[in-house]
Structure formats: C-alpha cells, structure tokens
Structure 1
Amino acid sequence: MGYRVAVVGATGNVGREMLAVLAEREFPIDELAAVASSRSVGTEVEFGDTGKMLKCRNIDHFDFAGWDIALFAAGSGPAKEHAPRAAAAGCVVIDNSSLYRMDPDVPLIVPEVNPDAIDGYSARNIIANPNCSTAQMVVALKPLHDAAGIKRVVVSTYQSTSGAGKAGMDELFQQSRAIFVGDQVEVQKFTKQIAFNVIPHIDSFLDDGSTKEEWKMVVETKKILDPKIKVTATCVRVPVFVGHSESINIEFERELGAEQAMDILREAPGVMLIDKREDGGYVTPIECVGDGATYVSRVRDDPTVENGLNIWCVSDNLRKGAALNAVQIAELLGRRCLQKG
C-alpha cells in the first residue's frame, strides 16, 4: 500500500528533481500531486522518466487533508504560509527551505547521520531538509566523528550556480555566451560577474562579517551531528552549473590517520571514496551530476595540528543536497512512523 504524496514547487529545479528521484527509487505512491504557485497552474511536469505528465495545481487552493506527505521545494515564503496548513491537516511536511531548520520542535534530518531524530516529527508535523552544503559535509564527517571525535572543522565551499536556482544557472550561461561573442555581460542574479570568476558571497551578510550561508553550515552541523563541534566556513559561488565541492580541514580529539580514515569512509553509508593519488584520481563536480553519493577524495594528514585531516568532498547539490535527501527522509518516515499495512 502506498502513500498520497504532494510535491510543492514542482516546476522548480529541486521540485522537478524530487519527482525524478521519487520515480527512480520507486517510492510507494498511490496518488501524486504536482503543486505550484498560481502562475504555474496547468503547467505540465514529468514524473521522472515514467512518461506520466502531471498538471500543476494551485497551492493557494490545495487541500492537504487526506494526503500523507508533502515535499516542499518552494522557498521560505510559501513554506511559512502553507506548511503549517498542511501539517494541521495531518500531512507530514518535509521542507527544503531554511525556515524551520533551527526550530527546536522540527527535526533536521540527514538519514545517514541522525535517523533517530525523525521520531520528534510529530511535535509540529514538519521535518526540515538541511542546507545543501551542510548535507554533503555531515555525510562525510559522521563516520569520522564516530571513530575519533571531531573537535573543529574549517570548511571552504565551492558552490555551483544551481544553488541559486534556475536564474543562477541561466546567468552563468548567458554571461559565458556574452563573453565568447563579445556582448556586454549583464549582472542580475549575483552580486558580481559569475562567468570565469568566483564570488566569496552567498546569501546576506551578518553583523559579524560572515554570510547567512556560512552561518547555516555552522548551526546546522551542530544540530545534526554534535553541538560541541566548532565549525567555521567560507562559502564561495563558482562558475559550475551543478555540483558543490568542499575543502574540509578536520581536527579530532583522538588520533586518526589518513589510511584509517579511508578505510572508514569506504564502508560509510552514502559515501563514495575515490582517492587514487594520481592525475585524475579524484572527483570533480562534473562527475557527480545525477548521482546521489557524497564523493570524498584527497584524504591526507594535516601535520600542522594534532590529529588533523584534510578531505575533498563533492556532491550533486540538487540530489543529496536537496531532492534525494528529502525523499530519503520520506522513506525513513514511512519505515518508522507511517507504516501502512
């Protein structure tokens, strides 16, 4: 017996990816609804590669009563207005926006890392999906933390334009084309030219000089993994269409060498270790597109601190960073909390 599932924000990058992942993983569905804003009503979206087309329904008039799960990929505004309404109707919301992540009554879940936290979903009937950069990082950190206890993390991210939505990807394409044909480069979505450039600025600035994206990585890692871990982040937008990369420096409480760390990562759920220590023996964003794994490469000791390690981490941000993680949460929810006979 399957579930009645609504995908909210079905016309966006993440919403379409959610539909694709639901189909690929053969999530048990009795009825599926594509839901979007009023301007997208009637737009057809495909249910993965099944050939089935779904007409988008208006979020403002959608009745969530009788629906089991709603996957929200519509941003904080619609989540603020409609997620509580869905939850009150008895539909469990899995929200991809940042709105509910730090709510103490809302579990923030990465299934490979903190599956037990899902038991608290009933407090608000809402489960939060973490920031894309946080999700892939904690998948890589979890098995190492279990082995040696992480004290401190220093991470620099190299985040693709798809993290800023379709408009971000379009801007990279349009600016690249303009440069090649000699047209004027227009900056609209980002604060500076993104084509052939990097921008050390994602989301708004905070009073301490960090950005909200950097703050998210700090507080979400603590909530998901361990509140005692110290985290500092620098988040950078790079001219890549899909796939976030991270350079992560880790300081442990106990000794953990590179060879032992690689043995642990080879067996870790959700992790794919590719570290050949030769030309091309590592993973870059272009190789991870369409895959659900969190790839780890360049594992090496850091001799500048006691019990230090460096790793390179790459993942498809539309998949593990958003759509796949949401569907994995739904699968976990079904196994543990919403079992149907």
Structure 2
Amino acid sequence: MQTKLNIVIAAEFELAEKIADLLEQSELLTEKITVAEIYPFGEEQGLRFNNRAVEQQNIEELDWSDKQYLFFAGETKHASYLAQAADSGCVVIDLNGVCAALQDVPLIVPGFNDEQLSELRNRNIVALADPQISQLLLAAGELLLQGGINRVLVTSMLPASYVNAEQVKKLAGQTARLLNGIPLDEGEVRLAFDAVPFKLHSSERLLQQFQKILPNSDIQLVIHQVQSAVFYGLAQQVTALSDYQTDVGQWQAAWQQNELLVWHEEQIVTPVTNGEQYQEQDQLHISDVQALENGIQFWSVCDEQRFSLAFLAVKLVETVYFQGY
C-alpha cells in the first residue's frame, strides 16, 4: 500500500510548475505539495496541484519532519537548505548537480543507471545528471556499454532556458527590440539572432559526470557547448566512432525498444518542431541518423526543462520510492 507523500519543490516558477504537473500524472500518491521559496514567485505566479492552490513558504521556516521528498533546483549558495532537509530524513533530488561531485552521492540518469541508487542511504541525497549528460546517455549509453565505441564527440546547442528563466526573458526582450530597430545597450551581451561559445559551466564538469556514471569506461568524450538563440529545447549533434565497422541497425533497434526515445527515420526534429508538434510527449527525439566509416552520427532533441529536469526528476522519485528510500 502506498504512503501518501508530502513533497517540497524548491525551484524557479517555470520548472516548479512542470514538476507539479508531472507529479499529478505520476504513479506516486502525493497528498500535498509545498513550494519552498528560494526564488520568489511573481504576484501572478501561483502553482496548482489537483485543482488546489499550492502553499508557498519561506524555506528557512519549513518543518522537514513530515516531508518525504524535496525537488531542489537551487544553487551552491542554497546548499545549506539542501543539507538541512537531508539531515532531517527528507530525500533530496538535486536537479542542478550541486552535490553531483560528492563521492557518496549517487548521480543518476533515470532508466540508465538506477542500480547506483544503493548509495542514496549515505546522505539522503541523489543528484540528477545534467541535461546534456542525460540526453547523451539515454540516446547512446546502452550501446556505449556494449563496447566498441571509443570516441564520442558532442556539440550541444543550448537554449536560453538551460541557463534560467531570466535568460529566456532577456532573449525575448532583445529579439523584440532588434526586430523593431532598437539597438541594444552598449556593452550588453547579445543573445538574439546569434550563437556563441557557452562559458557558464565548463565542459570539465560534464566530463566528470560522464566518468562518474560510467566509471570503468575508456571512452574519449569531447563536448562542445554553444549558446544558441533558441528559447527552449536542447539539441545535440553526436558522433560516435569505433576502430571497427559500426552496426547502425543495432542502434536503431535499441532506440525503438526504449519508451523514452522516438526515432524519426525521415523527419528531422528541431527544438522548434519539438515544441510545436510534440509538446505533450515527454520523450527524447532522435533523427538525421547517418552511418559513418566505423561510426554513427545522429541528432537528438528534447525539452531540457520539462523532459530532462522535471520529467526525469519525477521518474527518479518514483524509482527511489518504489525501491524503499
């Protein structure tokens, strides 16, 4: 018999709203959701869960004794709240990887390395892999585990939403101003109609996560990060190379067997078409598959906010719960 759960969400409004929506659809019997205000919501921003308004509380005033799970999408400066919740027995789902580098905190891509959850009992904290790593491993991880592939090159086209909601607003504002012939302020970093190297997080952080999830792998991974003028939707161009001929059909069969993935044999799915045509589908889309000499190349796209963070975080809590944590 399931226990009725009391769950806390500490995140920006846009992400918190997606988590609440997906919790309504999940297998968890959630009795109550509370918003912990680490990012204050606007006056017009309010969550609803099961047709009821969600209570918002100052995180410093929360009583953790009756809370089972915390969706934590804060920053390093908020880590003390995360630790307080975990020390009180509340299981923390770390969405932004604040604790991902800690040796005794499991780093999980739901549906790929769930067996590593056994380490959760050490701290009551489990970290969700960065959306770039989740997207790569959901698309290629099972084939990488089989051996043969020894070099993987990834170019991640990052949307404004990958940074935060404020970045989305900046991009929208710049786009509107430039379309109306209004120049940007002197010294203002341009986002609209442009692409630049992404420097907020180093690729080294992503490589460390890859190595933590696949500790015995000798695969050489190179990740290029590019900030694009896209609002939502993370796209990756992936090239996987071997010293031997690669069976592309084996990759396609693996994609077809994974319910989280959709392989498009003819259509190329972009962040824009994903948002327009597949908004209600919480899946990762793979297209433009090409056989290379001793390798394969493909293009993958998903909504990194709804799918890679909210959807995978809820799946992670489901797994944690049904494993008895």
Q: TM-score under structure 2 normalisation?
A: 0.91
Secondary structure of the 1:153 match is strand
Hey, what does 1:208 align to over in structure 2? none
Please give the residue correspondences for 1:149-228 in structure 2 after superposition, counting only pairs within 5 Å: 149-186=148-185, 192-204=189-201, 212=202, 214-226=203-215, 227-228=217-218
Report if the CA contact (8 A) 1:76-1:98 is conserved: no
Structure 2 CA distance for partners of 1:124 and 1:86, relative to 1, 3 Å = same
Please give the residue correspondences for 1:255-294 in structure 2 after superposition, counting only pairs within 5 Å: 255-276=245-266, 281-289=267-275, 290=279, 291-294=281-284
Hey, what does 1:27 align to over in structure 2? 28
Structure 2 residue 223 is the aligned partner of structure 1 residue 233: yes
The alignment of Structure 1 onto Structure 2 pairs a total of residues equal to 318
Hey, what does 2:5 align to over in structure 1? 3
What is the CA–CA distance in structure 2 between the aligned matches of 1:15 and 1:148, rounded to whole Å? 38
Hey, what does 1:144 align to over in structure 2? 143
- Structure 2 portions without partners, runs of 5+: none
Q: How far is the alpha carbon of 1:202 from its aligned partner?
A: 3.2
Hey, what does 1:18 align to over in structure 2? 19
What is the CA–CA distance in structure 2 between the aligned matches of 1:310 and 1:64, rounded to whole Å? 47
Secondary structure of the 1:250 match is strand
Report if the CA contact (8 A) 1:296-1:312 is conserved: yes
Please give the residue correspondences for 1:288-307 in structure 2 after superposition, counting only pairs within 5 Å: 288-289=274-275, 290=279, 291-303=281-293, 307=294
Q: TM-score under structure 1 normalisation?
A: 0.87
Hey, what does 1:57 align to over in structure 2? 57
Secondary structure of the 2:174 match is helix
Q: How far is the alpha carbon of 1:41 from its aligned partner?
A: 9.8
Hey, what does 1:327 align to over in structure 2? 314
Q: How far is the alpha carbon of 1:294 from its aligned partner?
A: 1.2
Secondary structure of the 1:19 match is helix
Report if the CA contact (8 A) 2:10-2:37 is conserved: yes
What is the CA–CA distance in structure 2 between the aligned matches of 1:275 and 1:116, rounded to whole Å? 32
Report if the CA contact (8 A) 1:201-1:237 is conserved: yes
Identical pairs, percent:
21
Secondary structure of the 2:239 match is strand
Report if the CA contact (8 A) 2:265-2:288 is conserved: yes
